[in-house]
A and B are shown apart, each in its own frame.
Chain A
């Protein structure tokens, strides 16, 4: 069956190549239409209760795309005409930022921030600095006094040291175009910065904007990586075909995958470019294996046609097994409820599966055209070094060295496994892990979080069963205690709710006597206090605290960071509080805003992590067991996968790389990643053993052929992937390191651990042909 297929491919090579290239041309045409963009909704796990709460209430209580702009003066304070003018001008400019929600622009210069004054006529509330700026020094001083005595403004929109003012703006999620928002806000920033006055910005749209901003650089690095790969391949393989064929395979797979993405209408998130590289690395590694196998067949004296057939035949099983395992392992990611991950799973698995055509079929077929296979293009014979190294590996694993390898591997596994469990779910550091800590964005974020209560928000909804529930003293008291409990966590800079609005009105009503900073003991008093606050204001001014019926309100918490640990702690404490303090006639609903959304994402990732690993192992077990008709084979490769995962997670823990929506796809793809090297090595041992029944020769032979492919691709990928470390995006740099590590672990274990395991355990599936096995069944049964 396989023989026939191989014969067909090689004899009808024009047809095969014609069809493959034709398809590639078509797919390449489609692939130009793939859109590279970030779609915010893609990041959110569908059907998660927090996301439902966020979707339902984000328009009023503030979603996860809030941008905070901070104006800071070096000398003096912000209460100067020219600074107040800047604040006003930025506030007004925000109206024109694309997708900005005009009702959610809040600053000293918006109508939302009000001064509460007691007068002979009762309580008057009027905007702090809207529509007009203070006209003279006296009015500026009045403004300052108004700010200082208003806890909803002082510390929240004007910093305690009076040197900074905050402007916050929320966006309408469905209209968001990150590139436009970023460009627009950056120009506002540039326009308003002046000597002695800095303008800093933080928020998800800005962060995404920065990522897009670095897209050209990312593509450039990608280009350099390809060039570096070509160079290393050329030096190690020494032939043009050895360089061009793997790159051609990579390009073909890329065209097919991107073409399919375009056809399926799947957008390509800029951060997923890493994945593209990861998969391309697999493609190239398979192509190199076939090239090396071809060279070996030539060395054994076959002609090009026979060599191409022989190499294709020999590597078909391990190659296809590797492709199938990788494809299935990538597909497992689809179980995650985030559309971004599902899209990555679809495109990733399509991409990996194209290896079957672009490398396993195409490479040997193209090799059949080689005219002078012995000729080399690179003058220095690097093969000698490679051979020496591989022989050294063989020396180690044949004999007692194999036990040493096993013990060492066990130690590495145990130590890294211990640390692997400490890997953070969510972000491991304050600031954004996508950018370096000295990036403008992270420095701005840090400055804003220092000056104010925290720029990342979470809202928890209080949903009443009937109107006016929020005026009930028992509900208000419960809410206040809830806020008190939240504020016990040091990373939460403060919280705000309707409770904080009622107190100051009551104080004003009592001549500024702070002993009245409290809500009333019956609902009517609270209704009156709120009514007084709203006198002369617009409907909607109370939106961020409550709906007009006082049935649904929000408690907003301000977080200084969005580390995984911070969010997990907050959510767990909130759940505990809610369980111990049930509301009368109302319930708390978690959780919206950036922190709420991240909490949902992290919960899914945490839950999904074990699930993905065990599913991927299941796939690996089933496929390997099926391919070799042996459950031992199914189990044989599992330690390798566990090992590379343990080492990688331990590395993530050591380097403070959190498991988040961006790193998860890389980690998930890595689950199946290490194993295809091992397939080639084991299959090489098996084929050779079945031929001459000499284990040591089989081990050495496999290491010198399949091992060469492993070493060459390993070195190529590792060296070129390190170029990613120069990226302005910390995420890409770290993922580069991670991939390099992954490849190193799997290369090293394929060259040492797997042969050692074969040597020590002598698994049946390696040493028995299919016929012998069925005989074994008979004889085993008769014993």
Chain B
């Protein structure tokens, strides 16, 4: 009797095991395998407001959400540099491949002396109202100048470690700064205004311009010839270190946001894929066609590496009539 019962229990083992195993299997919650998507260095949503080309290899661009990217191989590969901020960064000025300053929203300034391996944040002394800084440029004497809203102009003599507010409080946003001969600093901004200082920012003298719409960019070349551009494609020029300005016939009505000098030529960029080349000697404009993929806005322009770097809604290199977009294409 006992033996029989023992057998019965034993014979129940395999079915119970199978049923239990299959039953358990049917309730197993399967984990989906992990997925990996390579984080993109240059993302669809990135906006790079400015680009710097400190030597024949390096490309440095700054933009939205505190993002700084750098390439050491002419844009072949980029990497993101860690920054201590999420404020939008509007401009970069580099002395060389190691030393640079960056400015942006909320009075944010960053500086590096190690090629961007580390960025140190210093708040700009902007006062109570002004927060947004627009453009930083390095003067021939090595001093760096920055423009901001509410008439604010700042400068730094120690490569961005400390800043001095040299002017401020006016209801005008200074969008750009440039350097004429003999230490003259000029800023351009809203309402077609241009103001220049011959004493390192102690005093500022407003220059008369034929425009009342905003100027977004200004630049001078070594012979004292200056160019300023702004909304609706307006361009003005000066041949006397910014003293007097006249209207230049512009080929476009698109807003222009950035100007740079390329040898004897001028470069201007703006909205809707605007890239203009101006030859002042021939008084001739060329409007490049960047194609449908390049049909976005650009605020930064820098010649370099045999082409023209463009930064804005996309980061791109215009070279030999072809546009190379960095990062994700569409």
A569-B35, A631-B18, A781-B7 known; A518-B272 Cβ under 8 A: no
Residues of A with C-beta under 8 A to B214: 511, 513
The total number of A-B Cβ pairs within 8 Å is 124
- Residue-wise, chain A 150-165 has the 8 Å CB interface mask toward B (1 for contact) of 0000100001111000
A514 is contacted by which of B29, B295, B312 (Cβ under 8 Å)? B312
Residues of A with C-beta under 8 A to B37: 488-490, 569, 573
- Residue-wise, chain A 21-42 has the 8 Å CB interface mask toward B (1 for contact) of 0000000000000000000000
Residue of A nearest to B297 (CB): A514
- Residue-wise, chain B 23-43 has the 8 Å CB interface mask toward A (1 for contact) of 101111110101101111001
Residues of B with C-beta under 8 A to A631: 11, 14-15, 18
A514:B272 contact, CB within 8 angstroms? no
A481 CA / B19 CA spacing, docked (Å): 49
B15:A515 contact, CB within 8 angstroms? no
- Residue-wise, chain B 265-299 has the 8 Å CB interface mask toward A (1 for contact) of 00000011000000000000000000011010101
CB proximity of A629 to chain B, nearest CB, Å: 11
A635:B45 contact, CB within 8 angstroms? no
CB proximity of A256 to chain B, nearest CB, Å: 30
A488-B37, A607-B30 known; A515-B231 Cβ under 8 A: no
A622 CA / B18 CA spacing, docked (Å): 10
A658 on the B face (CB < 8 A): no
Residues of A with C-beta under 8 A to B216: 513
A276 on the B face (CB < 8 A): no
Residue of B nearest to A492 (CB): B44
A606-B30, A631-B15, A634-B18 known; A512-B4 Cβ under 8 A: no
B49 on the A face (CB < 8 A): yes
A515:B49 contact, CB within 8 angstroms? yes
A488:B26 contact, CB within 8 angstroms? no
B70 on the A face (CB < 8 A): no
B328 on the A face (CB < 8 A): yes
Task: For chain A, give the interface size range.
Answer: 35 or more
A782 on the B face (CB < 8 A): yes
A610 CA / B14 CA spacing, docked (Å): 22
B43 is contacted by which of A159, A487, A610 (Cβ under 8 Å)? A487
B78 on the A face (CB < 8 A): no
Residues of A with C-beta under 8 A to B45: 480, 483-484, 487
A569 CA / B64 CA spacing, docked (Å): 26
B330:A518 contact, CB within 8 angstroms? no
A635:B7 contact, CB within 8 angstroms? no
Residue of B44, B134, B213 most packed against chain A (CB within 10 A) = B44
A614:B25 contact, CB within 8 angstroms? yes
Residues of B with C-beta under 8 A to A490: 37, 328
B111 on the A face (CB < 8 A): no
Residues of B with C-beta under 8 A to A148: 271-272, 295
A314 on the B face (CB < 8 A): no
CB proximity of A132 to chain B, nearest CB, Å: 24
Residues of A with C-beta under 8 A to B30: 606-607, 609-610
A568 CA / B27 CA spacing, docked (Å): 21
A568:B35 contact, CB within 8 angstroms? yes
A777 on the B face (CB < 8 A): yes
A618 is contacted by which of B19, B28, B39, B65 (Cβ under 8 Å)? B19
Residues of B with C-beta under 8 A to A154: 295
CB proximity of B1 to chain A, nearest CB, Å: 10
Residue of A nearest to B105 (CB): A518
B26:A515 contact, CB within 8 angstroms? no
Residue of A nearest to B46 (CB): A484
- Residue-wise, chain A 511-539 has the 8 Å CB interface mask toward B (1 for contact) of 11111011001000000000000000000
A512:B15 contact, CB within 8 angstroms? no
B49:A606 contact, CB within 8 angstroms? no
- Residue-wise, chain A 128-162 has the 8 Å CB interface mask toward B (1 for contact) of 00000000000000000100110000100001111
Residues of B with C-beta under 8 A to A484: 43-45, 65
A610:B26 contact, CB within 8 angstroms? yes
B19:A622 contact, CB within 8 angstroms? yes
Residues of B with C-beta under 8 A to A512: 231, 255, 271
A621 is contacted by which of B19, B132, B213 (Cβ under 8 Å)? B19
B257 on the A face (CB < 8 A): yes
A45 on the B face (CB < 8 A): no
A149-B272, A483-B45, A631-B18 known; A515-B32 Cβ under 8 A: no
A621 CA / B295 CA spacing, docked (Å): 66
CB proximity of A689 to chain B, nearest CB, Å: 23
A173 on the B face (CB < 8 A): no
A149:B88 contact, CB within 8 angstroms? no
CB proximity of B294 to chain A, nearest CB, Å: 9
B159 on the A face (CB < 8 A): no
Residues of B with C-beta under 8 A to A159: 292
A572:B295 contact, CB within 8 angstroms? no
Residues of B with C-beta under 8 A to A477: 86
A480-B45, A618-B23, A631-B14 known; A162-B292 Cβ under 8 A: yes
Residues of A with C-beta under 8 A to B11: 631, 777
A73 CA / B184 CA spacing, docked (Å): 54
Residue of A511, A569, A573, A782 most packed against chain B (CB within 10 A) = A511
Residue of A nearest to B25 (CB): A614
Residues of A with C-beta under 8 A to B65: 480-481, 484
Residues of B with C-beta under 8 A to A162: 292
- Residue-wise, chain A 428-448 has the 8 Å CB interface mask toward B (1 for contact) of 000000000000000000000
In the A-B complex, the 6 residue pairs with the smallest Cβ-Cβ separation, listed nearest first, are A614-B25, A161-B292, A614-B26, A618-B22, A487-B44, A569-B35
18 A-B residue pairs with CB within 8 Å? A149-B271, A159-B292, A160-B292, A162-B292, A488-B39, A488-B40, A488-B43, A489-B37, A511-B213, A514-B297, A515-B299, A518-B105, A569-B37, A573-B35, A611-B28, A618-B26, A635-B18, A777-B11
Binding site for A on B (CB under 8 A): 3-4, 6-7, 11, 14-15, 18-19, 22-23, 25-30, 32, 34-35, 37-40, 43-45, 47, 49, 64-65, 86, 88, 90, 105-106, 132, 134, 175, 190, 213-214, 216, 231, 255, 257, 271-272, 292-293, 295, 297, 299, 312-313, 328, 330
Binding site for B on A (CB under 8 A): 145, 148-149, 154, 159-162, 453, 477, 480-481, 483-484, 487-490, 493-494, 511-515, 517-518, 521, 568-569, 572-573, 606-607, 609-611, 614-615, 617-618, 621-622, 625, 631, 634-635, 777, 780-782
